[in-house]
Amino acid sequence: MSTTPDLSVEFAGIPLRNPVLTASGTFGYGVELEPFLDLRRLGGFVAKSLTLEPRHGNPPPRIAETPAGMLNAISLENVGVEAFIEEKLPAVPDGVPVIASVFGTEIELYAEVCKRLTGVPKVAGLEINASCPHVKAGGIEFGQSPDALGRLVRACRQATTLPLVVKLSPNVTSIAEMARVCEGEGASGIAAINTVQALEVDVETRRPMLSNGLGGLSGPAIRPVALRMVWQCAQAVSIPICGVGGISTGEDAVAFLLCGATAIQVGTASYLNPAAAGEVADGIAAYCERHGVASVRELIGALEHS
Amino acid sequence: MSDAVTPAAPQRCVLRVRSNEPERGCIRLVLEAPDSWPAAAPGQFVMIHLSGTGVARHDPLLPRPMAAFRLTGEGSTEPDGTRCLEVLYKVVGRGTALLAECQPGDSLALVGPLGVPFPMPQPGEEAVLVGGGTGIASLFELARTLRDAGAPLRVLLGARSQDDLMALADFEALGVPLELATDDGSAGHHGLVTAPLEPWLGAGSPLRIYACGPTPMMVAVAELAEKAGHPCHLSLENRMACGFGICLGCAVRSRGDALHLVCRDGPVFDAKELDLGALP
Ligand SMILES: Cc1cc2nc3c(=O)[nH]c(=O)nc-3n(C[C@H](O)[C@H](O)[C@H](O)COP(=O)(O)OP(=O)(O)OC[C@H]3O[C@@H](n4cnc5c(N)ncnc54)[C@H](O)[C@@H]3O)c2cc1C
Ligand SMILES: Cc1cc2nc3c(=O)[nH]c(=O)nc-3n(C[C@H](O)[C@H](O)[C@H](O)COP(=O)(O)O)c2cc1C
Ligand code: FES
């Protein structure tokens, strides 16, 4: 006898129909994937990171394939917060929680965008993308300095009443320390991880594969790294964690839940299969049925180890 | 003939390989297309991923963009009438080398049809189609559509040598005016496609130029067309990750310094919109 498992979770104060969100920058502004996927099959989605003003990214080539992964250097390209609110959000179907992702080159710019998004219908929460180079600090990512990260989270926390998720950069020595800083400054949750800084070279031309030189690695290649970091964050803080990195199946997602994640995000997998996030949700349900798990919440942090 | 065909909504579908045989200049991949699989408009493409069997395949990770060469079976050219999508490709790297290993009965995951199709010529204009390398595949449906509509057209195909001229038999079977150019002179004009093109452009009658092929060829064609005052459409073959506008990986620069996505705003562009010097 099997009953339909309960997939609902609450992440950072946001009730989700299931733990599956989509990762920022891999799902456009939501509606691009509508021909392939009913958004109501997902817990919600995280939109492309927004800056105060619209921005162009890097010149091509911006992407390169690597073993079981890809590198990207799109940089800051986005429509800007106003166009997102005026043009993109209205097209999102009702009942789908939208988490808006925020970034900027200065703390004040992040805070401005947070303010602008607060109170906007359909926006259920904010995700702070801390992987942006901090111009005043010579280009080091906010998420790479505990001090800069702390000041960033404090300013954003003061700028909004919405649930505030901080998305951590994996390009650090101790992700646990960064998670603790966020918890200390009042963040409602953690998302981990953003792309892993990497380099690929074309030996024929002796040049980097990307115009930008360095890029961010994503896809199945980074999944064990992301899993390790989620597990370390879960050991360090009591705010909920959203696992991101290389997830393309229900089993991948379950691994993150077992390591302590409350929700997960599907990223690069949507490029190869625009229905991937829906299939991950179905895969989690199938896992629960197979293992007699009545509620997906039983899986959170249930990793057995000695 | 002035309206562009309205493209069908794209789908994701697993298609069975009927055959995957080498022929002159390319490999012809024939995929069985269910009735629900939408027909592509001329110039549209599909993303092909090497995992249709349900077994996750992470390497190569990304799908590859390929022109929807043609759909057979609807107008029924296939003997048993099965609806088939044909794709013609050259092996240039790992992805296409692995695609070449596919056997009849294997499955491939496809997303498509994608992209903005070629605009049709205005009444009174003659269409001139210039194809080179793998770009030849992107022009066949346009040639067929124009021929079926009785619209005037000429086709000019270029390749390194006679043995590299893909789809030659298909274009010959259309019975449209056809010129060839090869780098080594083994077929048609000896040299670049621009040599036979130039005198046509100056002949005085209104033309609309369509080009797809290596970047230097397209740039040369676009420059000649602009000098002669003829509208010119280029179909770009950039690297892509998603093919439907969400990764922002396929951007090209426009003359106004804006960025266009090749997969969503193209792959067909008015040559005047593009910064030709910045094409990859
Ligand atoms: C809209 C569109 C339609 C296309 N239609 C066809 C088609 O009908 N038939 C066909 O054979 N090919 C077509 N292509 C090109 C095809 O997508 C590439 O040849 C293929 O992705 C190469 O994959 P690979 O893994 O074999 O090569 P890789 O290992 O990725 O690369 C091998 C070499 O090819 C070069 N290369 C890779 N991708 C491209 C590219 N997109 N354009 C130019 N050079 C590239 C690389 O720089 C490298 O030198 C099309 C591309 C686009 C965007
Ligand atoms: C092309 C591309 C663009 C991305 N853009 C953003 C972005 O704007 N903001 C952000 O926080 N993360 C961005 N990411 C990172 C993803 O959200 C995700 O953290 C990362 O890709 C790891 O997950 P994955 O392996 O499932 O893709 C981007 C990733 C890719 C591949
Ligand atoms: S290929 Fe992803 S946006 Fe064009």
Q: Is the CB of B45 under 6 A from ligand 1?
A: yes
pLDDT at A140: 75
Give the separation between CA B154 and CA A97, rounded to whole angstroms: 53
pLDDT at B53: 65
Please state, for a pLDDT cut of 70, what percent of chain B lies above it: 94
Q: Is the CB of A261 under 6 A from ligand 2?
A: no
Q: At residue B208, does pLDDT exceed 80?
A: yes
Nearest by CB to A63, from B9, B109, B247: name it: B247
- Which long-range contacts does B171-180 make (Cβ < 8 Å, 24+ apart)? B171/B140, B171/B143, B174/B143, B174/B144, B174/B147, B175/B147, B176/B143, B176/B146, B176/B147, B177/B153, B178/B154, B179/B154, B179/B155, B180/B156
State the distance from the centre of ligand 1 to the C-alpha of A214, rounded, in angstroms: 23
Do A220 and B245 count as a contact with CB atoms less than 8 A apart? no
Nearest of B137, B198, B192 to residue B159 by alpha carbon: B192
Residue B88 CA: which ligand is closest?
Answer: 1
Nearest of B197, B270, B260 to residue B233 by alpha carbon: B270
Question: Is A59 touching B (CB cutoff 8 A)?
Answer: yes
Does A259 participate in catalysis according to the annotation?
A: no
Do A275 and B11 count as a contact with CB atoms less than 8 A apart? no
Nearest of B212, B250, B266, B240 to residue B64 by alpha carbon: B240
Chain A stretch 115-154, residues whose beta carbon is closer than 8 A to a beta carbon of chain B: none
pLDDT at A135: 61
pTM (predicted TM-score): 0.94
- pLDDT per position as a tens digit, B210-236: 999 999 999 999 999 999 999 999 999
Q: Is the CB of A212 under 6 A from ligand 2?
A: no
pLDDT at B78: 52
pLDDT at B2: 45
Q: At residue A1, does pLDDT exceed 70?
A: no
pLDDT at B251: 92
Please state, for a pLDDT cut of 90, what percent of chain B lies above it: 75
Q: Which CATH number fits domain A9-299: 3.20.20.70, 3.30.365.10, 1.10.443.10, 3.50.50.60?
A: 3.20.20.70
Mean pLDDT to the nearest integer, B13-21: 94
The full set of domain ranges for chain A reads 9-299
pLDDT at B95: 94
Q: Is the CB of A96 under 6 A from ligand 2?
A: no
Residue B71 DSSP SS3: strand
A70 contacts in B (CB within 8 Å)?
61-62, 241
pLDDT at B56: 73
Residue nearest atom 29 of ligand 2, based on CA coordinates: A25
pLDDT at B76: 47
Nearest by CB to A270, from B246, B248, B252: name it: B246
| A164-167/A123-129 β-pairing | parallel
The ipTM of this complex is: 0.92
User: DSSP letters along chain A, please?
Assistant: -----B--EEETTEEESSSEEE-TTSSTTSGGGTTT--GGGSS-EEPPPB-SS-B--PPSP-EEEETTEEEE--TT-B--HHHIIIIIGGGSPTT--EEEEE--SSHHHHHHHHHHHTT-TTEEEEEEE--SB-GGGTT-BGGG-HHHHHHHHHHHHHH--S-EEEEPPS-SS-HHHHHHHHHHTT-SEEEE--PEEE--EETTTTEESBTTB-EEEESGGGHHHHHHHHHHHHHH-SS-EEEESS--SHHHHHHHHHTT-SEEEE-THHHH-TTHHHHHHHHHHHHHHHTT-SBGGGGTT-----
The rounded mean pLDDT for chain A is: 94
Question: Is B11 touching A (CB cutoff 8 A)?
Answer: yes
Q: Is the CB of B25 under 6 A from ligand 1?
A: no
pLDDT at A296: 97
pLDDT at A134: 64
pLDDT at B54: 63
Q: At residue B75, does pLDDT exceed 60?
A: no
When mean pLDDT is compared across B23-27, B54-58, B96-100, the lowest value belongs to B54-58
pLDDT at A138: 62
| B45-49/B26-32 β-pairing | unpaired
Mean pLDDT to the nearest integer, A225-249: 98
Chain B stretch 140-199, residues whose beta carbon is closer than 8 A to a beta carbon of chain A: none
